[in-house]
Amino acid sequence: MAAADWVFKDGIAVVTISNPPVGALSLAVRRELGEALARAGQDDAVRAVILTGSHGAFSAGGDIKAFNSTDIEVRPYVKDLQAQIASLAKPVIAAIDGIALGGGLELALACHGRVATPRARLSLPELKLGMLPGAAGVVQMTHLIGPERTLDLLVSGRVMSAEEALADGIVDMVEEDALAAAEALARAVLDGGRVFVPVLDRPVPGAPFDPALADMLRQQAARKARGAEAPVAAAEVIAAACAMDVTAAVAFNEQRAGQLYGSPQQRAQTYYFKAERAARRVPGLPEATRPAGIAKAAVIGSGTMGGGIAMVFANAGIPVTLVDISQDALDRGMGIIARNYDTSVKRGSMTQEKADMARARISGTTDYEAIADVDIAVEAVFEKMDLKQSIFRRLDAVLKPGAILATNTSSLDIDAIAAVTGRPQDVIGVHFFSPANIMKLQENVRGTASSPRSVATVMALGKALGKVPVLAGNCDGFIGNRMLQYYQGEAEFMLEQGAGIEQIDRVAERFGMPMGPLAICDLAGVDVGVLIYQDRAKRLAPGNRQSPIAERLLAMGRLGQKNGKGFYRYEGRERIVDQEVVDAIAAVSAELGITRRDFTDEEIEARLFMPLVNEGAKELEDGTALRASDIDVVWVNGYGFPTHKGGPMYWGEQVGLEKVRDMALSLAERNGPRWGPSALLERLVREGKGWADA
């Protein structure tokens, strides 16, 4: 089939983008669209053109799979197609069913009119790829919805519904039969009954603007960007769209987009886009493996985590029963869920109607018999092995054959949990991150006995729940938390040597992390961190040490944010360094005989992030992670690692694996052998290779 089909009837040519599954604007599509538009221009019998998509998509925009290859650089570009539409003395109407994203939406916005079906979803998601809409999209959108809303739309990458697009004049009609409606619109234009003002000729809503607008937009974008360049560039182009004439603004849009395309951030984010999709595929599952359908779920434990997980199922349309030991506990859990939904409605992230429907899908019980027919039960109680095992015995006794018995443990041994059941093949880990209804990561943990069906089910479930699923092997801390201990551990070792509390957090935050490692400790609770340390201390091989700083803080009654003092003292949200903590750290240094010294920001950055890469390599080596890119997906979605750096493994490769290896050698000398380089890393350095050869 051609990449763009042409059908002609009664004076109207219907040109269809045909590039399943998502209608990406590949070179073949762009060429054939160009030819179709030229033919429409030359053929006097053609009086109007309808541009539409197929396979449930108008177009997902530029062909991401061809990014950074030569194909993308071959004309016609989307802007050439737009110019053809503009110069055609015949109406062109876009008929949009399903997605119109990025370049696809820019193309539609260059048409004279637009009709959408109720299923249409419109977005300019380019910033997620580290780039800008390059075919005038920033200017087009500013002319449609004004500067502030355009910035919000671009920075969030939010998807608009057909109704929303209609209310904003982005589409002209919403009709079930978009083709018929587009044809009627085209005929109305031909009859002179309907006139469309091209998007770029419309005045920017809200004009005239405050001269300080450009600065305001820039600052707003920079605050959200955490070091990403594209949001700031977007703000600059939006400001230009408000201040310059259209031709100059469009040229500036193209220029800024061109500067970002090919940049290290664009490459990192495009890599990351592919990484998320690769993570869904599990190599080695027998071809006949089919995931079990999940129509009904149960969650055991109605605390913060359990309640959040119940909301995730309910939000995805799956009825879910919360199980707890007492009615009191259930009532408390249900109360928190109700408040969370109220907050979502207040913040505008959910309509009242959707929240009510989701809430109605959550029920509670204290009786395990009541969940006998669920397809999956997710246990989400305290991290205590004997408690979890007793719950799994009960689940084993009541659940129907073939049900999935899942645990939300963040660190415990899946095999030890599975061993108390008569069906270890159906037992698997599904590790959600807190708050479960917000955080995207779903780290699925395969036990030794977990069947391919169980694996396939929780991977498919992740997608159905709107999460980003990644498969991990069963080990202490799985992919994410196993690495985290080195990041946080090294932060404390650097404190012992003289680095400042604020300096360490500032470096991590400037790198792009949402919060530095010490501030995170305060958020999670110094007491919680110390429990984990103490537990780990029992298992540490000889020669390895942990810093006693957190234990000291706990002894001083500093629990973290929960009592207003941990590594920092808190006044409202403000973090203030306390002399008492500085003194306590200096005392630890003195006791350990460590000479304190100044640190450069560069050293701190290297010592925080390189150990992550080394431990990631060990996970690849022992099979805990299937691919380096899976580790990146875990860190971006679970820990807020900046997407514009691709993830720790991608970043490590950019910095140089040799440097990562050298850092591991020096940290092993100071902190103990478990900090030493992974054998895989050493081999890759020796052979001059990267993760692709792991």
Residue 126 Cβ, how far from ligand 3H9 at the closest point, in Å? 5
Query: 273-299: b or e for each residue (b if 16 or more CB lie within 10 Å)?
Result: bebbeebeebeeeeeeeebbebebbbb
Please give the Cα distance from 385 to 406 (Å, whole number).
14
Query: Are the C-beta atoms of residues 493 and 670 closer than 8 Å to each other?
Result: yes
In whole angstroms, how close is the CB of 287 to ligand 3H9 at the nearest point?
A: 17
Q: In this structure, are residues 12 and 47 in contact, taking their beta carbons and an 8 Å threshold?
A: yes
Select 97 or 413, whichever has its Cβ closest to ligand 3H9.
97
The residue (of 135 and 355) whose beta carbon lies closer to ligand 3H9 is 135
Is-catalytic flag, 106? Answer: yes
Q: How far is the CB of 166 from ligand 3H9 (least distance, A)?
A: 20
Q: Which of 32, 73, 126, 148 is catalytic?
A: 126
Indicate the DSSP class of residue 146: -
Structure tokens that stand for 321 in this block: 């029963």
Task: Name the residue nearer to ligand 3H9 (CB basis): 17 or 507.
Answer: 17
CB of 551 to ligand 3H9, least distance (A): 45
The HSE-up count of residue 496 (CA atoms within 13 Å, CB side) is 22
Distance CA 666, CA 14 (A): 66
Measured from the CB atom, is 128 or 661 closer to ligand 3H9? 128
Q: Give CA–CA dist 446/487, Å, rounded.
A: 25
Question: In 3D, which of 18, 385, 219, 259 has the Cα closest to residue 251?
Answer: 259
CB-wise, 237 or 380, nearer to ligand 3H9?
Answer: 237
Q: Nearer to ligand 3H9 by C-beta: 76 or 477? A: 76
Alpha helices of 379-429 — where are they, by DSSP H? 385-398, 414-418
Q: Which of 35, 73, 106, 164 is catalytic?
A: 106
* Contact positions vs ligand 3H9 (CB under 6 A): 21-22, 24-25, 60-65, 78, 99, 101-103, 106, 125-126, 129, 133-135, 137, 277
Measured from the CB of residue 257, what is the shortest distance to ligand 3H9 in angstroms? 7
Give the HSE-up count for residue 564: Cα atoms under 13 Å, Cβ half-sphere. 2
Angle ∠(476,478,480) on CA atoms, nearest 5: 120
Angstrom distances, CA of residue 99 to CA of 37, 103, 119, 291: 22, 11, 8, 27
State the nearest-atom distance from the C-beta of 261 to ligand 3H9, in Å. Answer: 8
**Residue-by-residue DSSP string for 611-634:** HHHHHHHHHHHHTSBS-HHHHHHH
* Tokens coding 564: 């207003």
Q: What share of the chain is helix, strand, coil (3-state, %, to 5)?
A: 55, 15, 35
Query: In Å, how far from its chain's centre is CA 498?
Result: 35
Nearer to ligand 3H9, 141 or 436 (CB): 141
Cis peptide before 435 (omega within 30 of 0): yes
Query: Phi/psi at 502 (nearest 5 deg)?
Result: -65, -35
From the list 645, 653, 632, 641, the residue with the least C-alpha distance to 269 is: 645
At closest approach, how far in Å is the CB of 137 from ligand 3H9? 5
Comparing CB distances to ligand 3H9, the nearer of 250 and 483 is: 250
Catalytic residue set: 106, 126
